[in-house]
Structure 1
């Protein structure tokens, strides 16, 4: 008698567990539809600060001993945190120097990269810091910042706000540069910010010297549908209505596939075949659209794939020994 009762008890627990999973599965899309701001938070992930225990005021703690931290105000009362890493050749001279010295180095004979990071984390994320070091070793100034709502920057995130912050930093840089090249480098979600920015620059007749897109996507709806997080709901009837419409309801589009038709500067796209966050096929699709863009005719549009065997995935293209040759 004992064993049958135990089996019935186990079956009952299993049924309750399955029912609970079903309720949660159904509830999540309903909650997101009723509260679309949740979906916006999942796009930006600005509340995920990894690594958490770092002081952004001291980039030297991250091994950036030739980097200055400072703050700018793109809008009255809105402060954003910025890092300026000078070329590695200036490392010794940079020791003990303050902001004015770093500002003066923009007159040196070195190109500048404005780096726009992706979602989650801060400008001090490890893979980002490693890229700054690589670019610095190649003789570039690297200027990066945390958008409003990220890191130690004020405000709340939005696509328009992120783009406005990037435009402000770009203009701030142009005021300090003479004739040295200024490149824009976006990674992941930052590629959407980058194409927004460059489209605006081209619309006003002042394109950057080049646009570099690392792990880009076509638009946020296609990226969200391809993201690993959406896997369990991807084939749910009404997926677009529940999840994707909640994104656009927050005025989040990041439509790089549209922006490249209004861009007129050289474009370099870097993508790893084993990228598990932004699928390789989206970067390839964006390249095909860009290569057929009338506004980009006469400008070089180059796509560099990285084999899955290299295991660069979503964040580690900086490890490529070919990067110096690619950037030349």
Structure 2
């Protein structure tokens, strides 16, 4: 009997010790590490993991079976470090121009097609949204950009919201310098929606530049709202130091992505797409962003249309463009943009 008591006491001690260690790691070490580690914050916000892994950007047809795609790079100026960095992109030709063999700059310069600039979200690179490209190229000449820190872009500079936005401002100006006449649309997905709205706010305020139209797929209102509504945030939200260890560091390091503010400065029609079964960005944040945009923007800034997709369709976070109705939605949105531009 004494032996069993000792065994029980030993097991209990081990269990309590393991519980204490687990508690310390989850609710003490992780929040404090997040608070004091900018690389940890940056990784958790941007999740710059390659998807697909080991991408072969220079071989889009051979590796990814997508024709009419040119891989290219553009050097931009990183203002905080006064340095140069290279941004990787794909030029996806309109489906009627797939055999065009001109250089990237000549294609853009000579094109009469509307241009779509596509900004992807986290856990992605420009080789991931292949189906999306097949939809986009029916209507646009597409430029898909890997933000700094993704793919083979900007490996020598810091990943920051402001830095990425400044890159995109320069890239817009480069595209526009090549072709001053065609209409330019923006399509952002997930984190790319926040980068897009921020970029367009800066373009409007600094250069009075307005795109023809803006499509936001699976967007959110702010990074703080995302954190409060996903598993990572819910694990820690009950802690007395949640604000000081999780939220305040993001504010201090300007990783805030205030789309609900930036969207009020955008003077073009906006289409928002969100699926109810989105497990990455809660559907309610897309709904809320649309409501805020409708309430805070004036009539002469363009309409905001929201398309929600029921969870039984199974579109989730990435597959809204697989909905058969997406073509009609794009066509109707383009018509609305044309009507708005003619006013």
Q: Give the corresponding residue for 2:80.
A: none
Query: In terms of mean alpha carbon deviation, does 54-63 or 182-191 score higher?
Result: 54-63
Q: Does 1:286 align with 2:293?
A: no
Contact 2:34 2:245 in 1 (8 A): yes
Give the Cα separation in 2 of the matches to 1:106 and 1:59. Answer: 22
Contact 2:55 2:151 in 1 (8 A): no
Q: Give the corresponding residue for 1:253.
A: 256
Selected match of 2:186 from 181, 184, 193: 184
Give the Cα separation in 2 of the matches to 1:205 and 1:82. Answer: 25
Query: In terms of mean alpha carbon deviation, does 145-154 or 206-215 score higher?
Result: 145-154
Query: In terms of mean alpha carbon deviation, does 4-13 or 161-170 score higher?
Result: 4-13
Alignment CA distance shift 1:37-1:250 (3 Å):
farther
Task: Please state how far the C-alpha of 1:147 moved relative to its aligned partner.
Answer: 1.4
Gaps of 5+ in 1: none
Give the Cα separation in 2 of the matches to 1:142 and 1:286. Answer: 26
Task: Please state how far the C-alpha of 1:247 moved relative to its aligned partner.
Answer: 0.9
Query: In terms of mean alpha carbon deviation, does 56-65 or 162-171 score higher?
Result: 56-65
Query: TM-score by structure 1 length?
Result: 0.91
Q: Does 1:228 align with 2:239?
A: no
Contact 1:269 1:283 in 2 (8 A): yes
Q: Give the corresponding residue for 1:153.
A: 153
Aligned partner of residue 72 in structure 1, secondary structure: strand
Q: Give the corresponding residue for 2:103.
A: 99
Contact 1:220 1:254 in 2 (8 A): yes
Selected match of 2:310 from 286, 307, 311: 307
Give the Cα separation in 2 of the matches to 1:105 and 1:260. Answer: 28
Count of residues in correspondence between the two structures = 320
Aligned partner of residue 263 in structure 2, secondary structure: helix
Q: Give the corresponding residue for 1:319.
A: 322
Query: TM-score by structure 2 length?
Result: 0.88
Give the Cα separation in 2 of the matches to 1:8 and 1:103. Answer: 78
Cα deviation digits, residues 219-262 of structure 1 (max 9, x gap)? 11111222222221122222121101111121112111111221
Aligned partner of residue 202 in structure 2, secondary structure: helix
Aligned partner of residue 231 in structure 1, secondary structure: helix
Task: Please state how far the C-alpha of 1:106 moved relative to its aligned partner.
Answer: 5.0
Cα deviation digits, residues 65-94 of structure 1 (max 9, x gap)? 210001101125311111100011222x14
Q: CA RMSD in A?
A: 1.9
Alignment CA distance shift 1:64-1:284 (3 Å):
same
Q: Give the corresponding residue for 1:122.
A: 125
Q: Give the corresponding residue for 2:334.
A: none
